[in-house]
Amino acid sequence: MYTPNLSLIDYGIFVHIIFLISIFDIYFKSPVVKDVVPYEPIHEPTSNRLILFVVDGLRAESFVNHTTMPYLRYIANSEGRWGISHTRVPTESRPGHVAIIAGFYEDPSAVTQGWKDNPVDFDSVFNRTKYTWSWGAYDIVDIFTKGTVDGHIYVTKFDPYDKAFCADKSNMLLDEWVFQHVQKFFNTAETDAFLNKKLHTNKIVLFLHLLGTDTSGHTDKPGTQNFLRTVEHVDENIKDIEEMIRNFYKNDGKTTFLMTSDHGMTNWGSHGTGDDHETQTPYVLWGAGVQQVKHLTNDKETKNMSSEHRYDIEQADLAPLMSTFLSIPVPVNSIGKLPVDLLNMTLPNRAKAMYSNSKQLLSQYNKKKQDVEDHVINILYKPYNPLNSEKIEEITTFSEKLLNENQYEELILFSEEVMNLSLAGLNYYHNYYQKPLLIATTLSFLGWIVCLFNILLDDNVCALIEIYKLKCAKPKENYTLKCFTKFVTGSLYIVTIGLIYVQNLPYLYYLFFLTPIILWTNALKYFDIWIYTLTLIRMYRRVFDTIIEICCYTLGCLAMGLSLTHRWMLSIPLIGMGFWPCFSSSRNLIPKPLHACWMIGCMLLSIFSFMPVVGRAVYIELVLLAGSIWMLAMMMFTFLWKDSRTNRRDIIITLTQSIIMGLSLYIIFIQARRYEQRFALLGFLQTLCWIILVVMLLLPFGHTRRMSSRLLGVNTSIVNIYLLLSVSHEALFIVVLIFNITCWMIIEFKFLNLNNVKLTDYTFSKDSEELDTIILPVYRTLTSNDFRRAFFFTLYIILAFFGTGNIASLNSFEIRWVICFTTSYQPFIITGLVFLKTLMPFLCVGCTFKAVQHITKATSEYLITIVLIYSNIMGTQLLYYVKNTGSWLEIGTSISQFVIVQIITLFIVGINIFSKIWTEEDIYSFAFKIFGRRKKNA
């Protein structure tokens, strides 16, 4: 049999890694501008010290619509100010704290390097203080100690991942740890003269990171009594800490207090994306330097909160605000704008504070502009005209004139305009090379798609001509065109490398701009094959049919791409699949009961795309129902459809899997009940679940290679593992998915119309030569049916991931997924279990697709190539859906969609390999080979 030349597919993983990296250079790069000159403020400080309380995971709704923080609500309505601090995606702890304390939104490189450590060193409010003391979780307080050389930041920390999230534990202990250490710190300062002296210097910050609310939100959910009790505990202790600090400083009136949160939380206890509850956090500001309002009117959007005291801001605005209170330089990479209306300062000091903020942003813009201009080619350079060099000089002169002439009101307004211009200019130069990169990446996508088509056409077309003796003359090679192509591509290489080198662009730009040239050079080598193909299509009058098929599959891929944004769109191709057999020329080969089951399966799957995302509600009853349905189906298959060839080993293993599944359902029920009643979860049952996990992964290898038995064993293991990690309707989804893809496999078999062969005759064994001679043609060429099978597989892969919502999303994560296995905050274990849950639907699709390949004798490499073509069509579409402007929910969603499509494309190869192992390997044959060989050698 012919083996296709897959050299290009060998480079496929490398190409898709380039595509994956490209969007970060196209749309998102580090916001940190290096070597920016800080600007020393010239206004007088309002405070000597600032106390920052960050209540981790506290959403605005929990503060403004509940009375569980009575003290802070009283402060906000009387002697302080309050409002909503709007965060940005990703709504995680590290990016939120960086925005609050450093004034910029997280460096996208943190996505690949993790949010627990600094991808880069950056400036922060803490860097500019005389002294800073921090208490809290190590992965937060350690963020701001990088890059400091004088050791003026002191950290007292604990490891939050040693704490359990079991329902019987109190999350208030996390905050109590911080409050007790702060009290101990001030008690020590009473007797330690050196520490006392430090605490009485100016420009100091005390930072308290309070993790209890975040942990309680994950376990108890916002709005529950346990969560509100944790919030109330925070309120009481903030009051005590404030009183202790005021007494320590003898009420000198030089202390400013700020309470805020890094991110919010959804009703179902998750965060990470752009839901309003995640992006809206509260802040309360009181003490020295805070502008008070005398009148009091209830805010209509809240419960008994003052509308006059309310002032909404962006989260990054807190950094210049804190810097202004202490009169320290604003962090050099901050993009926050000073909310001057919150300041109780004289008009001159207000104007000087705004002037300082505008100078900091202008200095950042100048450095960014200089970085671009130092290496650009003048002919190609397009400056940011609203803020070019001449206008910068005019702005600097005019602002200094306003300052010297004491025109403070005009200076405030002008400084605000300068800040807006600087931010717009920063964005312009930040995305200066976006369009060229976007064009290059698009050409790479298209070139790669053509290369994949070349793989399919090469030798398939020639083989058809040779096998069937078709009268089709081979087109003559055009040497003039060949020489011209070499000259053009060579010139492009030289020009591209030269332009990148002269402009001193990053090394990755060589990769991005040379890849399309390489791919298209390779694609054009097969020009004669395309001529051949078009000739054959015309000969057999298949032009119209081919155009229709191309349009249908392309539109189908675009619909799948849109379904990543609008999940309900998955129902459209599913409904089309349900009616597909009706339009097939072989529809009479499908029994009506099978057709009905197929249509019902497609309709049921389409329903899940309209249901809520998993993780937002818990219905253990649905998990138990799904397990019961599967056990019933197992029993029916084992005892009603067995025949004389059914192996006793298969029956024993199937019964063993049934018993284990019954035990798993019992564990799910017991642990869920104990969790709801806030009892400690049973550790021995968790140990048993780990044993079940390992056993279920191995049991399919005990089945014979008979296709029906092996698939039943594989799918039973998948369902069992999935149920142990499920809490709601996703358990029913996996059952319906397996039912539907099984119907697909049977329909594909019926279409072959093999009268003397039964589906139960098939085996995954590599040496079933007798069956192969019955159904294997002399040469298996690519057919239009293979494009349909690959399309179905691609759709099932997308459906497996998004059918119940993106279960890998931080937004839909539910802590109860893992309670059958662990009750400790162990990120790697939890992430591994969630990844395993995400993997299970992929594997059931992959194994069934492997069965379809065995039945139809389709070449695996060709089918995977077609799947890659479909995936790249989606990737090209989603490349233009990535956003870096607009709402941050859209930005975060667009990134995840593109990344997911690229990862799925890379993941298909791994799924195919694992499916091959799980379906074709036999533990008994493997043991026989080992021990038989030893015996022979003996």
CB of 199 closer than 8 Å to CB of 251: no
Q: Which two tokens stand for residue 582?
A: 């009706």
Local structure of 824: helix, strand or coil: strand
pTM of the model: 0.72
Which secondary structure element, helix H or strand E, spans residue 135, and what is its range?
strand 131-137
Nearest-angstrom CA–CA distance, 934 and 680:
51
Local structure of 404: helix, strand or coil: helix
Q: Which of 351, 343, 874, 776 is nearest to 562 (CA)?
A: 874
Q: Which two tokens stand for residue 865?
A: 């190539």
Order across the sheet with 153-158: list the strands. Answer: 153-158, 131-137, 204-210, 49-55, 255-260, 280-287, 80-86, 313-314
pLDDT tens digit sequence for 118-146: 445 788 999 999 999 999 988 888 888 86
What Cα–Cα distance (Å) separates residue 743 from each residue in 230, 329, 350?
A: 51, 67, 72
Strand-pair partners of 51:
206, 257
Nearest-angstrom CA–CA distance, 636 and 934:
42
pLDDT attached to residue 46: 96
pLDDT attached to residue 165: 46
19 alpha-carbon distance from chain centroid: 16
Nearest-angstrom CA–CA distance, 286 and 325:
11
pLDDT attached to residue 890: 55
CB of 801 closer than 8 Å to CB of 789: no
Which parts of the chain have pLDDT scores under 50?
1-6, 8, 109, 111-116, 118-119, 165, 167-168, 644, 767-779, 807-811, 886-888, 936-938
Q: How many CB atoms lie within 10 A of CB 684?
A: 7
Query: Residue holding tokens 């499916």?
Result: 915
Q: What is the 3-state secondary structure (H, E, C) of 28-62?
A: CCCCCCCCCCCCCCCCCCCCCEEEEEEECCCCHHH
Output helix, strand, coil percentages for the chain, rounded to the nearest 5. Answer: 65, 5, 30
Whole-number CA gyration radius for the chain? 33
- Using the Cα atoms of residue 383, residue 384, residue 386 and residue 387 in order, give the sign of their dihedral: negative
First to last CA, the chain: 38
pLDDT attached to residue 895: 66
Query: Residue holding tokens 């920016």?
Result: 36
DSSP assignment of 762-776 equals -BS-TT-HHHHHHH-
| Beta carbons within 8 Å of 791's beta carbon, 6+ residues apart | 553, 556, 866, 870
Running DSSP on this structure, what letter comes out for residue 385?
Answer: G
pLDDT attached to residue 893: 61
pLDDT attached to residue 118: 47
Query: Residue holding tokens 């009375």?
Result: 67
CB of 400 closer than 8 Å to CB of 433: no
- Single-letter code of the amino acid located at 566: H
∠ Cα 146 147 153 (to 5°): 65
Q: Which of 258, 236, 244, 99 is nearest to 175 (CA)?
A: 236
Q: What are phi and psi of 314, to 5 degrees?
A: -90, 150
∠ Cα 476 477 479 (to 5°): 135
Q: What are phi and psi of 201, to 5 degrees?
A: -85, 170
pLDDT tens digit sequence for 341-392: 999 999 999 999 999 999 999 999 999 999 888 888 888 889 899 998 889 9
